[in-house]
Structure 1
């Protein structure tokens, strides 16, 4: 099993922070030595996308993809929203475990805000392109961040098929939308008013 122990740093501390899409993605930056280790143990055959499970002790955090192998030895650069969502303070020690992932066929997502439902981010083309670029790997039970312009949408991944961890690349992914977390049932319609006509004695 390929596992690596690293200390967490925010992506903002790395020169690649100039790529703004990385801050709303599952992509991390790790040392070159990890790529070499994977190639040595897999006879130079590495499946795409390269995916890892982030763990803190026994706690499984989220599955991530790789943007670059350019981090200093011993460190991993992670999007700030992942650090905040999963409580991973600066310099937290984590374990990175290599994963092979299957192509996904379906996901179920649960937006945190109802505003997502009426946004451009929900449109099929936008969402498909965004996931392929920023979330090549998705894991059931995780929370992701999608940005549409300056607007941010947090989304829970409630289910992934056929496996708990899937790839979004080179596949036709069906998306099922769950009811947003802040959804409020509309009040029932008021009953129709009843007007009684009473004949008054003369």
Structure 2
């Protein structure tokens, strides 16, 4: 039966209205929730029907085939018009004055809902769970695919309804509902550092080896040679940075190290003013003296000079 533009089919209510945002009637609190404002005639017709409470409605935009669900707050709108939150008009792709079909419906109580914030700023709130619970008290139902708006601290946060159970549209009035969060839409996983490939390992080893070769090697015995008797050495052997090998006599930075068992070479090297270590350092064998070449007159004169002797001063008594 059709009466006054309303269709009655048993306990159903269905009517088309022109929709406008809540700002048209100066009710900003309407934006916080999912409830609409309907004309008084709708209340009269609904009261005469045997419908379930609380009143829930299905909103259908025939032009875009978008469907959502809502509750009702008041019946004070002008006839043929309804007012709804602006975020709900965005979900239905409605403009001001567009036609929307309103039909009463019954939804099951929700047991599970999965939410996904648009931005990760929502997770930076000190207690997002408490803010969400407070906001959802103004909602009657949730529909999969909708984006609800949560206002907090003069900022609006949009959250997608990713999944609802036990159906695609649920009632959240006086029910315990499990809530799960999906990563925000703008969330990006941190990049993991890539390990070095095996092909780069030999190149790195070669680089370390070249650096090690470039370092200055340690050179021992880099000082100048000096005689124990204080006389200047006639000639300085070239500085050679090498280690002593075996027991052979090798020049080490101007000083030759000769073992005590050295025979003929010891006297000749001693005559040249080199430092000789060993028990035969102060004297040379007779055979070696016969074989040694004749020294010049200048070297003979220097040998005849008295050598330094320790403790040759005068002695004194402590008694005076």
TM-score scaled to structure 1, two decimals?
0.86
State how far apart, in whole Å, the 1-side matches of 2:97 and 2:23 are: 14
Alignment map for 1:44-193 (pairs within 5 Å): 45-48=51-54, 50-57=55-62, 59-120=65-126, 122-123=128-129, 125-133=130-138, 135-189=139-193, 191=195
Aligned-pair distance for 1:52?
Answer: 0.8
Unaligned runs of 5+ in 1: none
Residue aligning to 2:21 = 10
Q: Is the 8 A contact 2:91 2:146 kept in 1?
A: no
State how far apart, in whole Å, the 2-side matches of 1:121 and 1:138 are: 22
Aligned residues: 193
Q: Is the 8 A contact 1:107 1:157 kept in 2?
A: yes
Higher relative contact order structure (alpha carbons within 8 Å, sequence separation ≥ 6) = 1
Unaligned runs of 5+ in 2: 1-11, 218-320
Residue aligning to 2:9 = none
Q: Is the 8 A contact 2:16 2:101 kept in 1?
A: yes
State how far apart, in whole Å, the 2-side matches of 1:186 and 1:66 are: 45
Q: Is the 8 A contact 2:108 2:171 kept in 1?
A: yes
Post-superposition Cα deviations, 1:112-142, rounded to whole Å, max 9, x if no partner, equal 111112224622x321221022x12111111
Runs of 4+ in 1 over 6 A off after TM superposition: none
Q: Find the partner of 1:32 among 37, 40, 43.
A: 40
Q: Is the 8 A contact 1:39 1:46 kept in 2?
A: no
Greater C-alpha Rg:
2
Q: Is the 8 A contact 1:24 1:81 kept in 2?
A: no
Aligned-pair distance for 1:85?
Answer: 4.0
The structure that is strand-richer by fraction is 1
Q: CA RMSD in A?
A: 2.2
State how far apart, in whole Å, the 1-side matches of 2:83 and 2:104 are: 16
Q: Is the 8 A contact 1:105 1:173 kept in 2?
A: yes
Residue aligning to 2:261 = none
Aligned-pair distance for 1:83?
Answer: 2.2
Aligned-pair distance for 1:98?
Answer: 0.7
SS, match of residue 137 in structure 2: helix
SS, match of residue 41 in structure 1: coil
TM-score scaled to structure 2, two decimals?
0.56
SS, match of residue 200 in structure 1: helix
State how far apart, in whole Å, the 2-side matches of 1:146 and 1:139 are: 16
State how far apart, in whole Å, the 2-side matches of 1:118 and 1:40 are: 49
